[in-house]
Amino acid sequence: MAVYKVQVSTGQGALAGTFDTISITLVGIDGESPKHLLDQYGLDFQPGLVQEYEVPSERALGPIVLIRLHKEPYSVFPESMWYCNTLRVTSPEGDTYQFPFYRWIQGYCTVELVESTAQIPSDDSHYLLQKYRHEELVLQQERYRWKEYIPGTPWCADIDSALTAEVNIQYSFPKASAFFGRGSAAVLESKLKGFLDRPYSWEMLTDIPKIFWFYHSPVSEYVTEHWKEDAFFGYQYLNGFNPVLIRKCSALPENFPVTQEMVAGSLGESTSLREELQLSQRPDPESPIVLPSDSDWLWTLAKTWVHSSEFHLHEVTSHLLRAHLLAEVFSVAIQRQLPMCHPLYKLLIPHIRFSIHINVLARTFLISSGGVFDRAIATGRPGLAELLRKGLENLTYTTLCLPDDIQERGVSSLQNYYYRDNGLKIWAAIESFVSGIVGIYYQTSLSVQSDHELQAWVGEIFTKGFLDRQASGVPSALGTAAELTKYLTMVIFTCSAYHAAVNSGQFELAVFMPNYPSSMRKPPPQNKANVTLKEFLDTIPEMNTTRLILSVLWVLRNEDQDMRPLGTYPEEHFTEHGPKQLMAAFQDRLAEISREIEERNQSLALSYNYMYPPNIENSTAI
Ligand code: FE2
């Protein structure tokens, strides 16, 4: 008789436990144990519990390669889902086998878990493991399907309602309640009381901060004080919430007929054209070129139009498309094409945490018909669809890879561009970490090319995310370890650092609403007549629209008790020494980068903290 020790760990979440009956079968190279009931005194599978059991087998099983968990009814209790963290099996000889899972088990069923050593397909020589890899992917492809959401834009997850519920609960309550959860929404409503039913213009600029009277940050106060200044207007293109638009302009566009003479008065010595605004795509007598030397509120109105237009580009292309929708494409493709034992599954799974969930919420509340986009943002949902399509048409692999993007936009030598400075360091840190992981599992180019699971993952992202558009330059297959490293770096950087850069500043930069209005209520100025403050206030959003949009941006602040900063891996998907060492080195490098950023920030009037490791979440999660 051989007796195996089995340790079972249940997740911490409030609903992670189950009352169902759980049994186990151990599968070794030399045979299987009988199905054995896991039962101790008291409750076995409650949130946060780690329980030990003894599992007997008539004969020794050899190295354990697989376990089966059987979830069956218990007495009259209704079925309850179970979030199983990990299992550890210790043989009579003292050998231990880890089975990281970190998933829900729903319904009465049997699930199979393979031993944790990361393996690319060609490494799995045992027929049982090959069979399991295949069966796991077949099952996952039934659970996670693709759906076209808006024609011409990236596809999204098509998961059934049971899995949606699973995904929602899995992603724990702090996250869900933050996003339109009843508790936080009610608290916010009570604080904002009085602005909901006021479809009127603001009477004075000084009234606007009263809406979020309980919120102050150094940045929000700086914005309230400096929002009209040209220098701050320009600064926000470098280090605001949309630092990816700015590019070197070596010649004035043909449709922008401004001359040096027109603006000579407002240019300092040895400076040239750079400050004037035309608020349409074509020169037209009714689209005057507005200059800093024009009347104060006309110039301010022109700049506000530019920021309002940028609000849309930012939310739709920089934020929704490039971060959220791509993160979902990466996520669905990972769930469908990479089995849990694949090293790239283990590498990437922390970087897609909550990504499908947050997008399901966004499709329900924000970008649905009648959602916030329709109610408070000028483009509405039809404009959003059009902007998304255009955004995807122009999205390239170069844009997604920061070092290439910086070159392509010609902004390598731009002064005070902290998004770039911080971003390049973080990109390099991710690249070094990823390169180490790739080096462990892929010794040759052939091993990259012949990994059919990896190639299917990359191919599916190209087809469903980039709609097979060759011109995007996004790879549809990968041929070398270097190509794989770059691709994985792009995925992790996009889901973490890039998303933080375009997400984190939204509230504090827009809470003083005139800085980033979500809609304008009058057409752009059609002549250079004087503009009054009252006309300005009658153009920017009225009180109730301001309240609605700021409530959403409030929720999207990156402040969450459940946040996992970049490079933290509390779930042990990798159990080998090599990847763990690389994770520690990655964390050290990120800490070093943080110190460098803190030091630089000390000399700045306004700290740049959106691309700062402790504020960067591992995944696109809010
Ligand atoms: Fe976001």
Tokens of 261: 């003479």
Residue 253 predicted with pLDDT over 50: yes
Residue 169 predicted with pLDDT over 60: no
Buried b (16+ CB within 10 A) or exposed e, 305-322: bebbebbbbbbbbbbbbb
Which among 356, 324, 331, 321 is positioned nearest to 472, based on CA atoms?
Answer: 321
CA of 611 to the centre of ligand 1 (A): 14
pLDDT band at 374 (very low <50, low <70, confident <90, very high): confident
CA of 320 to the centre of ligand 1 (A): 7
By the CB criterion, residues less than 5 angstroms from ion ligand 1 are: 503
| Mean residue pLDDT across the chain | 90
What span, in angstroms and rounded, lies between the C-alpha atoms of 538 and 558? Answer: 32
What span, in angstroms and rounded, lies between the C-alpha atoms of 154 and 388? Answer: 9
SS3 484: helix
CA of 324 to the centre of ligand 1 (A): 6
The Cα-based distances of 123 to 62, 231, 375 in angstroms read 19, 58, 54
* Residue 214 CB neighbour total at 10 angstroms: 8
Q: What is the reported pLDDT for 251?
A: 79
What span, in angstroms and rounded, lies between the C-alpha atoms of 569 and 566? Answer: 9
CA of 188 to the centre of ligand 1 (A): 20
Dihedral through CA 342, CA 153, CA 320, CA 394, nearest 10? Answer: 100
| Cβ proximity of 96 and 90 under 8 Å | yes
What span, in angstroms and rounded, lies between the C-alpha atoms of 201 and 191? Answer: 20
Dihedral through CA 436, CA 439, CA 445, CA 451, nearest 10? Answer: -90
Phi, psi for residue 38 in degrees, rounded to 5 = -90, 105
Residue 179 predicted with pLDDT over 90: no
CA of 424 to the centre of ligand 1 (A): 21
CA of 207 to the centre of ligand 1 (A): 28
What span, in angstroms and rounded, lies between the C-alpha atoms of 72 and 478? Answer: 43
CA of 500 to the centre of ligand 1 (A): 8
Residue 427 predicted with pLDDT over 50: yes
CA of 502 to the centre of ligand 1 (A): 8
CA of 26 to the centre of ligand 1 (A): 43
Q: What is the reported pLDDT for 604?
A: 95
When pLDDT is averaged across residues 502-523 and rounded to a whole number, the result is: 94
Distinct helix (H) and strand (E) counts, the chain: 24, 13
CA of 528 to the centre of ligand 1 (A): 38
Phi, psi for residue 277 in degrees, rounded to 5 = -130, 135
CA of 50 to the centre of ligand 1 (A): 35
CA of 384 to the centre of ligand 1 (A): 16
Which among 36, 157, 158, 159 is positioned nearest to 106, based on CA atoms?
Answer: 159
Give the lowest-confidence range in 92-101, 189-198, 529-538. 189-198
The Cα-based distances of 79 to 47, 71, 244 in angstroms read 16, 9, 49
Residue 325: half-sphere exposure toward Cβ, Cα within 13 Å: 30
What span, in angstroms and rounded, lies between the C-alpha atoms of 164 and 168? Answer: 6
CA of 436 to the centre of ligand 1 (A): 29
| Percentage above 90 pLDDT, the chain | 71
Q: List, as one string, the DSSP characters of 144-157.
A: SEEE-SSTTS--EE
When pLDDT is averaged across residues 43-65 and rounded to a whole number, the result is: 94
Residue 176 predicted with pLDDT over 50: no
Q: What is the reported pLDDT for 561?
A: 67
Residue 166 predicted with pLDDT over 60: no
CA of 319 to the centre of ligand 1 (A): 6
Tokens of 131: 């069979």
331 burial class (0-12, 13-18, 19+ CB within 10 angstroms)? buried
When pLDDT is averaged across residues 230-234 and rounded to a whole number, the result is: 95
pLDDT band at 276 (very low <50, low <70, confident <90, very high): low
Please give the distance of CA 347 from its chain centroid, rounded to a whole number. 16
CA of 68 to the centre of ligand 1 (A): 38
CA of 362 to the centre of ligand 1 (A): 10
Which among 401, 398, 412, 346 is positioned nearest to 100, based on CA atoms?
Answer: 346
CA of 292 to the centre of ligand 1 (A): 34
Residue 174 predicted with pLDDT over 50: no
Residue 159 predicted with pLDDT over 90: no
When pLDDT is averaged across residues 255-268 and rounded to a whole number, the result is: 71
What span, in angstroms and rounded, lies between the C-alpha atoms of 202 and 206? Answer: 9
Q: What is the reported pLDDT for 49?
A: 94
pLDDT digits (tens, 9 = 90+) for 457-497: 999 999 999 999 999 999 999 999 999 999 999 999 999 99
Q: Which amino acid is located at 275 in the chain?
A: E
* Residue 187 CB neighbour total at 10 angstroms: 11
CA of 2 to the centre of ligand 1 (A): 52
> Is 0.85 surpassed by the pTM of this model?
yes
SS3 85: strand
Q: What is the reported pLDDT for 275?
A: 61
Cα 189–175–377 angle (5° rounding)? 55
| Cβ proximity of 280 and 255 under 8 Å | no
Highest mean pLDDT among 26-30, 285-289, 326-330, 370-374: 326-330
CA of 620 to the centre of ligand 1 (A): 6
Which among 127, 126, 123 is positioned nearest to 447, based on CA atoms?
Answer: 123
| Cβ proximity of 314 and 337 under 8 Å | no
Residue 171 predicted with pLDDT over 50: no
Tokens of 25: 């079968």
SS3 104: strand
pLDDT digits (tens, 9 = 90+) for 602-612: 999 999 999 99
| Cβ proximity of 517 and 540 under 8 Å | yes
Give the lowest-confidence range in 187-196, 367-376, 478-487, 542-551. 187-196
Residue 540 predicted with pLDDT over 50: yes
Radius of gyration of the chain (CA): 27
Q: Could you tell me which residues come within 8 angstroms of residue 562 by beta carbon, excluding any fewer than 6 positions away?
A: 172, 174, 175
Highest mean pLDDT among 177-181, 274-278, 391-395: 391-395
Phi, psi for residue 394 in degrees, rounded to 5 = -100, 0
596-599 contact pairs (CB < 8 A, 24+): 596/425, 597/422
Q: What is the reported pLDDT for 297?
A: 96
Q: What is the reported pLDDT for 181?
A: 45
Residue 180 predicted with pLDDT over 50: no
When pLDDT is averaged across residues 46-62 and rounded to a whole number, the result is: 95
